[in-house]
Chains A and B, each alone.
Chain A
Amino acid sequence: MGASGAGKSTLLALLAGLDTPTSGRVILAGSDLTQLDEDGRARLRAERVGFVFQSFHLVPALTALENVMLPLELAGRRDARPAALEALGRVGLQDRTGHYPRQLSGGEQQRVALARACVTRPAVLFADEPTGNLDTATGDRITQLLFDLNAQSQTTVVLVTHDRQLASRCGRVLVMESGRLVAG
């Protein structure tokens, strides 16, 4: 948790290997990210990491199903299609698989993003303000779905938020201020 500009997203980027630290080391799922090059970090993410973003980040040119299939295809999985269909089913979008992102509401888009994040059954799921762009009711439904999926697949969820209520449902809360950890 932390206010805008506290450094939450920067920390998330470092943890996920999207960025590299100027000093220190980051160990993710047993691998030292600072020892890997860009492609090595990408491979690690393909195998072990899932993402959910505040602004969804769906590929506008691909349908809901194709968006969910994307990480599976990148990992070279042959069962991409049935796995993606199943993941969409778990977020309740089995009837919207052929829709493009622009044809879906904000909540639906974030559910597709959730399905995409979980479909590879990652060890760690990073979520950056997953409800930041949604109204309270929709945000609550997404939160519930996130925790349900977490419970089902035993994933570690690393969540960035400034929503106290959401934070209170997590196992551990770290608070940041001006780039430093101040609590937790």
Chain B
Amino acid sequence: MRALLLSMRMLGREWKSGELGVLLLALTVAVSALTGVGFLVNRISQAVALQANEVLAADLRLESPRELPEAYRAQALGRGLSVARSVSVLSVVFVGDESQLSNVRAVGEGYPLRGSVGVSAEPFGVATPVGAGPPQGEAWPDSKLLAALGARVGDQLSIGAASFRVTRVLITRPDQGGGFAELAPSLLINHADLPATQLLQPGSRAGYALLFAGERKTVDSFKLWLTDRKQRGERLLDVTEASPQIQNATQRAGRFLSLASLVAVLLCAIAVAMAARRYVQRHLDSVALMKTLGATRNFTLSVSLLQLLVIAVAAAVLGSAFGFLAQEWLLRALKGLLRADLPPPDLVPVGLGFLTSIALLGGFALPPLLQLSRVPAIRVLRRDVGPPPPLVWLAFGPAVLAVVFLIYWVVRDVRLFFGFVAGLAGFLVVLTLAGFLLVRLAGSLRGSVGVSWRYGVANLARRRGESVVQIVAFGLGIMVLLLLAVVRNDLLADWRRSLPADLPNYFFINIPPADRDAFLGFLAGKGAETSRALPMIRARLTGINGRPIEGMDFQDSRGEGYSRRDQNITWQQDLGKDNTLVEGRWWSAGDTDKAVVSVSTEFREGLGLKLGDTLAFDVAGELFEARVASVRKVKWDSFQPNFFLVFPPGLLDDTAGSWMTSAYFKPGDSRAIAELVRRFPSVSVFDLDDLLAQVRSVIDKAILAVQSVFLFTLLAGLTVLLAAVQGTRDERRYESAMLRTLGASRATVARGVLAEFTVLGLLSGFLAALGASAAGYLLARNVLEVSYGFSVEVWVAGLLGGAVLVAGSGWLATRSVVNQPPLITLRGP
């Protein structure tokens, strides 16, 4: 109790001395970084989990790319279940001349069977739940679609051959998936209006769903009945398996962001260790005095420990609050990518914040404090006596334990843990070596500059260890931010460079075979440059070399996908310019009608195929086999119609399918597109510019999210700088007083300090730009497989940003020291 009272009283006083402030700052930044990401991931995961039972809008859902047999519906109704229909198809929606590719969802009577549709009278408004879809003749577009079309409630819009009146705005629907929004905007219409739109033609790409709900027992027995009868391509979804993919994606993204925030936490740990060391140095005298006055070792230890505990709790509370705010800000930045109505987070991240705070203090501040309590009382008479040297395991053991604990807790995976630790350690060793070299280099160059600079650079070289730590901490913070900018620019710039100016900007799919010639004629009549038109047929891979595909294991996740999903296949006579043969030979005239197939390199690698393998396919119930005759490398970014699987002409002539093509329209020729959609309502039009803009916006938002997290790394670097400056305050105060006593003006001393931090910042910036460029080069070459473009901006931003940031904050932190009159300092404490 006495220790508590005394420690609280001293805490208030010591606050002014500064090192407690740095300690609190370092812990707060660490806690904010971890909890900010924690809150975000927590909310998204909750949304995914919560909506699992609503995500189907039913208890059981059957999905298929083909129309579902009426027998299923009749059977379910016979068993007393409720049934509802839903069909989704991509189509262009018009209001006047404005058009937008949208996900048109036609929902039948009874929809939704579970959950409710949230609607509002205005875009982005508050959702009011309603128990049914729109009545006939009405459409409920979502906010994104209305905004894109510049339309309002009450306007008329046209879909295919039909016209609808906008009566409400769709805010949420139960089967819209977990935390992530769909890319294309969507709208609801009544199922009974679907025929009038003429969107559905034979071979059209649409998604059909039957929704079932009722008593659990009935649903379960119906599920068994359905499982036995369902056809290939029909997917039965139960609540339990509704959104595993989204959950996986969420977990992976969350883990990546947590790892990114860990880098900030580890930097903060350095700042904590520095501040704790300074705390100990400053308290050697007062602890010795307290012992002289009769305090026991335990008592002095309790006083320090209680102070630290208060700081840990304060940092946890403050950090969690900042983390929450940061997460709110991040959500705002990610608007559109995430659903707006995420549930509030629970308190799990706060627990993580408390643990982080205590683990960092325990690991990095406790060992020096234990040392402090061992200072002998005799120090009051002989100042040269300090605490006995620490045991090595006691000095570093807790720190290593704390770091291992934090990293493992975030990654929860042994392999990932070792990967991360090894990667980070290697990276830090390289950075530290580079830092040492830079400081040495700067030190050896100081003879050639003026007195202020010489004094500043000499300071850097004298405190070499600390300088290197600061350069590495700051360099790392700037580097990760630069790296993201490099990668983003490289990605988008290189992509854009590789696209020719007359690249097709519209894709057309779902062209009915009967309309093919008329459609191509229409395009030619409008002066559009058309690329090749290819048939498009849905097929399912059922076996390889006589073995059924079901039950096969694929190492490659792509192979897993190819084996499960329907594939689009085509037939064509000529090998296009954007296809290169890597193995085998292309069709000659004699191959017509032969059961052979050409596969793309991705398909070969994903499934581990070789020339001569036999693939079995199911096309609309018809089974056939084909031998792999060649392998092609496809240049996908040519934006021409291309397929993984290409057959020779003849073999598939009789199968039902549709055609696709791409074309270049002059920008702004939306009238022609509008006319085209009205004449060929079943054709789906993709505006590539729109799609590209959407992809870009997703990349930008994701990068912004990651950059926000890495901003904490920069903050952590700043904290390390502050801790280092705090640690040298007394020394600096004395030196500044000495210099001024020797006749240096205040301006000279100030210039020296500025020079020191400017050089420090330049060195950090240099290291950051070097590291970001090297990492960017490696990423571009090996991961993104694009050519790396050297960027001057990265160097300018790194050097200038580093210098301004470090010089500014260093100056602010030392200003009071420099400005203090020398007499006060030299007269003693």
Give residues in A with beta carbon < 8 Å to B. Answer: 9, 12-13, 16-19, 38-39, 42-47, 49, 51, 53, 57, 59-62, 66, 70-71, 73-76, 101-102, 116, 128
Q: In the complex, what residues of A have CB within 8 A of residue B6's CB?
A: 70, 73
Cβ-based interface call for B415 (8 A): no
Are A61 and B294 in contact, with the CB atoms below 8 A? no
Are B2 and A45 in contact, with the CB atoms below 8 A? no
Are B10 and A42 in contact, with the CB atoms below 8 A? no
Q: How distant is A112 from chain B, measured CB to nearest CB, in Å?
A: 13
Are B293 and A128 in contact, with the CB atoms below 8 A? no
Chain B CB count within 10 A is highest, among A38, A47, A61, A62, for A61
Are A19 and B378 in contact, with the CB atoms below 8 A? yes
Within 8 Å by CB of A46, from B5, B285, B293, B829, lies B293
20 A-B residue pairings within 8 Å (CB atoms): A18-B376, A19-B376, A38-B296, A39-B297, A39-B298, A43-B294, A44-B294, A45-B292, A49-B294, A57-B289, A57-B380, A60-B286, A61-B16, A61-B17, A62-B10, A73-B5, A74-B290, A74-B294, A75-B294, A116-B293
In the assembled complex, the Cα of A53 lies from the Cα of B377 at a distance in Å of 13
In the assembled complex, the Cα of A116 lies from the Cα of B13 at a distance in Å of 19
Cβ-based interface call for B823 (8 A): no
A-contacting residues, B373-388, CB 8 Å = 376-378, 380-382
Are B295 and A46 in contact, with the CB atoms below 8 A? yes
Within 8 Å by CB of A74, from B299, B378, B380, B829, lies B299
**Secondary structure type dominating chain B contacts:** helix
Are A42 and B380 in contact, with the CB atoms below 8 A? no
Q: In the complex, what residues of B have CB within 8 A of residue A75's CB?
A: 294
Are B294 and A59 in contact, with the CB atoms below 8 A? no
Within 8 Å by CB of B292, from A9, A18, A62, lies A18
In the assembled complex, the Cα of A39 lies from the Cα of B289 at a distance in Å of 14
Other than the known A13-B378, A13-B381, A59-B289, what 7 A-B pairs have Cβ atoms closer than 8 Å? A38-B297, A39-B296, A61-B14, A66-B9, A74-B2, A74-B295, A128-B381
Q: Categorize the interface residue count of chain B.
A: 20 to 34
Q: In the complex, what residues of A have CB within 8 A of residue B380's CB?
A: 18, 51, 53, 57
In the assembled complex, the Cα of A70 lies from the Cα of B294 at a distance in Å of 10
Q: In the complex, what residues of A have CB within 8 A of residue B382's CB?
A: 9, 13
Q: In the complex, what residues of B have CB within 8 A of residue A128's CB?
A: 381
Are B290 and A70 in contact, with the CB atoms below 8 A? yes
Known: A39-B296, A42-B296. A61 touches B13 (CB 8 A): yes
Q: In the complex, what residues of A have CB within 8 A of residue B296's CB?
A: 38-39, 42-43
Cβ-based interface call for B61 (8 A): no
Are B381 and A18 in contact, with the CB atoms below 8 A? yes
Q: How distant is A7 from chain B, measured CB to nearest CB, in Å?
A: 12
Cβ-based interface call for B277 (8 A): no
Q: In the complex, what residues of B have CB within 8 A of residue A57's CB?
A: 285, 289, 380
A-contacting residues, B275-318, CB 8 Å = 285-286, 289-299
Are B2 and A76 in contact, with the CB atoms below 8 A? yes
Q: In the complex, what residues of A have CB within 8 A of residue B9's CB?
A: 62, 66
A-B complex: 10 closest residue pairs judged by Cβ atoms: A46-B294, A61-B13, A39-B296, A45-B294, A18-B377, A71-B293, A18-B378, A19-B378, A9-B381, A59-B286
Q: How distant is A154 from chain B, measured CB to nearest CB, in Å?
A: 20
Residue of B nearest to A56 (CB): B829
**Secondary structure type dominating chain A contacts:** helix
Are A102 and B10 in contact, with the CB atoms below 8 A? no
In the assembled complex, the Cα of A43 lies from the Cα of B290 at a distance in Å of 11
Are A42 and B829 in contact, with the CB atoms below 8 A? no
Residue of A nearest to B299 (CB): A74
Q: In the complex, what residues of A have CB within 8 A of residue B293's CB?
A: 45-46, 51, 70-71, 74, 116
In the assembled complex, the Cα of A103 lies from the Cα of B237 at a distance in Å of 78
In the assembled complex, the Cα of A175 lies from the Cα of B5 at a distance in Å of 44
Are B829 and A73 in contact, with the CB atoms below 8 A? no
Q: In the complex, what residues of B have CB within 8 A of residue A51's CB?
A: 292-293, 380
Q: In the complex, what residues of A have CB within 8 A of residue B13's CB?
A: 61-62
Q: How distant is B329 from chain A, measured CB to nearest CB, in Å?
A: 38
In the assembled complex, the Cα of A101 lies from the Cα of B829 at a distance in Å of 9
Q: In the complex, what residues of A have CB within 8 A of residue B381's CB?
A: 9, 12-13, 18, 53, 128
Q: In the complex, what residues of B have CB within 8 A of residue A101's CB?
A: 829
Q: How distant is B730 from chain A, measured CB to nearest CB, in Å?
A: 12
Q: In the complex, what residues of A have CB within 8 A of residue B376's CB?
A: 18-19
Q: In the complex, what residues of B have CB within 8 A of residue A102's CB?
A: 829
Chain A CB count within 10 A is highest, among B16, B17, B298, B378, for B378
Residue of B nearest to A128 (CB): B381
Q: In the complex, what residues of B have CB within 8 A of residue A76's CB?
A: 2
Q: In the complex, what residues of B have CB within 8 A of residue A46's CB?
A: 293-295
Are A42 and B286 in contact, with the CB atoms below 8 A? no
Q: In the complex, what residues of A have CB within 8 A of residue B829's CB?
A: 60, 101-102
Q: How distant is A42 from chain B, measured CB to nearest CB, in Å?
A: 5
Residue of A nearest to B5 (CB): A73
In the assembled complex, the Cα of A4 lies from the Cα of B752 at a distance in Å of 40
Q: How distant is A114 from chain B, measured CB to nearest CB, in Å?
A: 14
Residue of B nearest to A77 (CB): B2
In the assembled complex, the Cα of A75 lies from the Cα of B380 at a distance in Å of 20
Chain A CB count within 10 A is highest, among B16, B292, B296, B299, for B292
Known: A13-B381, A18-B377, A43-B296. A73 touches B14 (CB 8 A): no
Residue of B nearest to A38 (CB): B297
Residue of A nearest to B289 (CB): A57
Are A42 and B291 in contact, with the CB atoms below 8 A? yes
Q: How distant is A98 from chain B, measured CB to nearest CB, in Å?
A: 12
Within 8 Å by CB of B377, from A42, A59, A61, A116, lies A42
Within 8 Å by CB of B294, from A9, A13, A19, A71, lies A71
In the assembled complex, the Cα of A61 lies from the Cα of B296 at a distance in Å of 20
Q: In the complex, what residues of A have CB within 8 A of residue B295's CB?
A: 42, 46, 74
In the assembled complex, the Cα of A57 lies from the Cα of B290 at a distance in Å of 10
Residue of B nearest to A47 (CB): B294
Residue of A nearest to B16 (CB): A61
In the assembled complex, the Cα of A9 lies from the Cα of B378 at a distance in Å of 10
Q: In the complex, what residues of A have CB within 8 A of residue B16's CB?
A: 61
A-contacting residues, B253-293, CB 8 Å = 285-286, 289-293
In the assembled complex, the Cα of A58 lies from the Cα of B396 at a distance in Å of 33
Q: In the complex, what residues of B have CB within 8 A of residue A17's CB?
A: 377
Q: How distant is A57 from chain B, measured CB to nearest CB, in Å?
A: 5
Chain B CB count within 10 A is highest, among A17, A42, A46, A101, for A42
